[in-house]
Amino acid sequence: MKKNMRHIIENLFFDLRQSLKSFAPVLAVGLALLVFSFPAVAGEFVAPTVDNILKILVRFGALNMVDDRILDDYAKIIECKLYRHFYSDDFRWKEFRDAMRKSIKQNIGEYPTGVYYDAELQLDRYDFKQKIYKFREKSSLNGVDYFTFVVKDNKCGKEEIRLFPTEYRVVLDQPLLISGIPLSENDAKTLLKRMKDNKNDSLIIYARFNFQVVFVDRLSWRIDNKNRETGPLYQSGKKQVRLDARLGSIDFFEDETKTRLIYSYRP
């Protein structure tokens, strides 16, 4: 409902932008604040899109939003249309910055702290003693304690935003110890038949790992050889950003669209 209302208001804003030019700038900024005063997507576990990852960084204080340079590039991604409309006017953009900071302060509690990661795994043979459908060696999860992903689409129109990192590593508080999916013999036999019927002879399944982020260290500017601050931002001298997290759950599905659940693992 909130997303639909936000979409309606944003469309209204751009439909009326010509008439807004005749009003005081503060009116336009006030309407912009109304647009992004609706909370960001705050589902328990969100997709690892650039918008969601940036909101996670803001939620944990990893981005210094007092810095106008960081706020401006954040706005380019999160509110691209509004950025392109206001940025050319220094005075309206100043008011817009104030409005955006106020919106972040009001809604930061709704920003996501959980993120999911999707992966393909391959089943091996069924273990009749342990009653487990084991994973192939290349799909083994035993001892895995981190997951790496890349976020794309750091753009506003044709402009590419290079300030924010694109590589992220979710580091778990303890390694996974999962050798396969526990299933009864009958359930395993039924699963195998369905996979064969669907031409899935490789026994590929689809896993969704749900992570609860607990800490993100602050990102900093790089210092060039002339002692100037420059991007992209980095964390502890590294391009890859570390997200400390706990595992919430893992859902295993038969199909890539993730509609046929096989098993849910919870630590």
Report which of 154, 143, 142, 147 is spatially closest to residue 118, judged by C-alpha positions: 147
Share of the chain above pLDDT 70, in %: 84
pLDDT bin (cut points 50, 70, 90) of residue 219 is very high
For 57, residues 6+ apart whose C-beta sits below 8 A from its C-beta are: 63, 216, 219, 241
Both 196 and 169 in a single domain? Answer: yes
Report how far residue 84's alpha carbon sits from residue 95's, in angstroms, rounded to the nearest whole number: 15
What pLDDT was estimated at residue 245? 98
Does one domain contain both 71 and 127? Answer: no
Q: For the chain, how many residues are written?
A: 267
Q: Are residue 180 and residue 99 in the same domain, yes or no? A: no
pTM for the structure as a whole? 0.84
Q: Does 97 share its domain with 119? A: no
Which residues span the domain enclosing 162?
115-265
- Of 33-37, 52-56, 136-140, 198-202, the one with minimum mean pLDDT is 33-37
Q: Are residues 103 and 120 in the same domain?
A: no
Judgement on whether residues 102 and 178 belong to the same structural domain of the protein: no
Q: Are 190 and 129 contained in the same domain?
A: yes
If asked whether residues 142 and 238 sit together in one domain, one would say yes
Mean pLDDT, rounded, of the chain: 88
In this structure, are 198 and 231 located in the same domain? yes
State yes or no: pLDDT of 153 exceeds 60: yes
Cα 28 to Cα 31: distance, rounded to the nearest angstrom? 5
67 and 171 in a single domain? The answer is: no
pLDDT category of residue 209 using cuts at 50, 70 and 90:
very high
Calculate the dihedral angle through the C-alpha atoms of 213, 151, 94, 5, rounding to the nearest 10 degrees.
-80
Q: What is the rounded distance in angstroms from the CA atom of residue 188 to the CA atom of residue 184?
A: 6
Are 133 and 258 in the same domain?
A: yes
Residues 71 and 63 sit within 8 Å (Cβ to Cβ): no
Could you tell me if 132 and 234 lie in one domain? yes
Residue 66 tokens read as 């007092």
Span 230-245, pLDDT tens digits = 889 999 888 899 999 9
Q: Which of 91, 110, 129 is where one domain is finished?
A: 110
Q: Across residues 193-214, what is the average pLDDT? A: 97
pLDDT at 124: 97
Q: Angle at CA 217, nearest 5°, toward 213 and 218?
A: 130
The number of distinct structural domains making up the chain is 2
Beta pairing partners, 209: 117, 250
